[in-house]
Structures are given as C-alpha cells and as structure tokens.
Amino acid sequence: MNEEKQQVFIGIDVSKKELEVALRPMGTRAVFSNDEDGISSLVDFVRSFSPVLVILEATGSLETGAVGALAAKRCPVVVVNPRQVRDFAKATGKLAKTDSIDAHVLAHFADAVRPEVRTLKDAETQNLDALNTRRRQIVEMLTAEKNRLLMAPSWTRKDIKSHIDWLEKCLHKVNKEMDKLLKKSPVWREKDNILQSTPGVGPVLSITLLADLPELGTLNGKQIAALVGVAPLNRDSGMFKGRRAIWGGRAGVRSILYMSAMSAIRFNPVIKVFYQRLRAAGKVHKVAVTACMRKLLVILNAMIRNGNCWNVACS
C-alpha cells in the first residue's frame, strides 16, 4: 500500500535583502535573495514541494514581490498579521527571535492554525491601495503642520505655510490619480456609485473600502464585521463577565468607517434611528457608535453583493 503523501507547510521570513524559508515537518531551511532572481528561485523551490500553505508576515511592502510571484503560480500563499505570529511563538515557548527561528515559527503557525487562503489584490487594486495610503500620509502631515502653525513663532511661520502649500498640491495630485484609476475600471465605478449613494458615505470611505477591503460583498455580515474589527468579542472568564470589545481587524478601514458612521448618525435615516434606539436603551455613546459602524458596514456589504444602490436596498 502506498504511503499517504506528506503534507508540507512553508514559512517565509522576509527582510530587505533575504527570504528565509523553513519547511515543516522536514525542518529543511533555505535562503534566497529578496530580488527578482532570488524570488524566481524561491517560487521554483516552493512549488517543488506542493505545499498545503505558504505563510509570510505583513511587513509593509517587503513581502509584496514574493507574494505576487507565488500567487501568480497558484501557490496557496497567505499574508498574516505579525502580532498573531508573535503571540503564537510565545505560546509555544519560542521566545528567541532570529530569521531562521521566525521562518520555522511561521511554518508551525501554518500547520497549527491553517489560516484561510484569500484572493490577493490584483495590480490595479495594489496601485489604488498605495495611492490611498499616500493620501492618508499627506493628510496626517497636513494636519500636523496646520496644528504647528497655530503655535509657531513668526520666524518659522513662512516655512510652515510653504510646506502646507506644497502638501496641498501633493494631495490634489494624489486625488486626481485616484480618480483616474477609478474611472478606468467599470467595476470600480459601479461599486463606487453604489457606496456613495448611501447617506454618510463619501469618496474617502468608498476608496478605502475598494482598496483595503476587496472582500466586501463576498462575505456574510458577521464575517465582514470580524474582518474589519467591528464585531464585539466576549471577555468572560468563570464568574467574571466583562464588557465586550472590538479588537484586531483592519485599523485603517475602521478609522475611516468611524468618521462615516458619525456622519451617518446625523444624515442617514436608518443609522440615525438605530443610534437613537441604542441610546434610549441605555447604551453609552461609544458603544452605540461602534454598533452603528458595524450596521453601516453590513449594509454596504449587502448592497455591493446585491448590486443595489441605497434607494433600492432600503426601499
């Protein structure tokens, strides 16, 4: 009788120069350069083992080349939150931290946790995501400079004003690029129209959802709320009954969703009534707003899934 084929799990620790690879359960390790030639060799190496899962940590952008190349060859690759992996390492007694150890921890994490493989962003969505991230950075710098201007002595005010003018030009340029990218895609245009038909939802939330939450419309309400991090989690132990709280998820999406929910509480009839009912039931403002964020997200998810604008969805 033939032996059952061994399941292989691969962890890849990413640094600026190198990709440290570990295979479980064999314990094999390999190192590749984090450049075009190294990534090409990495893909051939990974495919030769037909792995069940390949895990990398989100590093900002250093993992992008390897992830894209692996996904293009249909490898089951998943990018995970580094905090999850670090907590897993501590739970398994791995307190030391080197590239080799981290790669083996990632392979162990893949075997034990088996996170779901999701569709990765295509090139256009990655471009929109990069522009949206840059827009957020510029807005943060603008806010900081405008706050400094209020308290700045006269000899620095001219320099700060010049920087503000330059940042505003950069913001205008990024906004134009994002608008051009949206108009190029009929699918994005349709989704943008659906999202912005909702009272309280403007272009910033719409673009953030398109760029940072491509799963919108493909999951159910509970799943999309958990993915963003607006699903309350229990904090109970024995006789202790703690307050439920939101945790984890996609913080960038959540922060923009918060601002839209605040607007929706004023101008969206469904969210406004929902908020008032929660407050009348004794819920504190913060809890009520979080519930409104979740409800707004679930509504938008259903609208995208069904292809309905606000008036149709809520008629």
Confidence class for position 121, pLDDT limits 50, 70, 90 = low
In this prediction, residues 284-311 reach a mean pLDDT of: 92
Share of the chain above pLDDT 70, in %: 90
In this prediction, residues 246-270 reach a mean pLDDT of: 86
Q: What is the b/e burial string over 79-102, where b = at least 16 CB atoms within 10 angstroms of the residue's CB? A: bbeeeebeebbeeeeeeeeebebb
The dihedral of CA 60, 32, 113, 101: what is its sign? negative
Rounded Cα distance, 233 and 2, in Å: 46
pLDDT at 83: 84
* HSE of 292, CA atoms in CB hemisphere, 13 A: 32
Rounded Cα distance, 33 and 42, in Å: 9
pLDDT at 200: 93
Higher pLDDT, 5 or 182: 182
Q: Is the confidence at residue 232, as pLDDT, over 70? A: no
* pLDDT 10s digits, 48-94: 999 999 999 887 778 888 888 888 788 888 888 888 888 888 888 88
Residue type, 168: E
Contact (Cβ atoms closer than 8 angstroms) between residue 235 and residue 243: yes
* pLDDT 10s digits, 192-223: 999 999 999 999 999 999 888 888 888 898 88
pLDDT at 227: 85
pTM of the entire predicted model: 0.66
* pLDDT 10s digits, 130-163: 888 899 899 999 999 999 999 999 889 999 999 9
pLDDT at 240: 43
Where on the phi/psi map is residue 274: left (φ > 0), alpha (ψ -120 to 50), or beta? Answer: alpha
pLDDT at 63: 83
pLDDT at 122: 67
Contact (Cβ atoms closer than 8 angstroms) between residue 288 and residue 278: yes
pLDDT at 157: 92
pLDDT at 245: 52
At the topology level, CATH places domain 9-113 in Nucleotidyltransferase; domain 5 (3.30.420)
Q: Is the confidence at residue 3, as pLDDT, over 50? A: no
Higher pLDDT, 241 or 51: 51
pLDDT at 313: 55
| pLDDT, mean over the chain | 86
The three state secondary structure string of the chain is CCCCCCCCEEEEEECCCEEEEEEECCCCEEEEECCHHHHHHHHHHHHCCCCCEEEEECCCCCCHHHHHHHHHCCCCEEEECHHHHHHHHHHCCCCCCCHHHHHHHHHHHHHHHCCCCCCCCCHHHHHHHHHHHHHHHHHHHHHHHHHHHHHCCHHHHHHHHHHHHHHHHHHHHHHHHHHHHHHHCHHHHHHHHHHHCCCCCCHHHHHHHHHHCCCCCCCCHHHHHHHHCCCCECCEECCEECCCECCCCCHHHHHHHHHHHHHHHHHCHHHHHHHHHHHHCCCCHHHHHHHHHHHHHHHHHHHHHHCCCHHHHCC
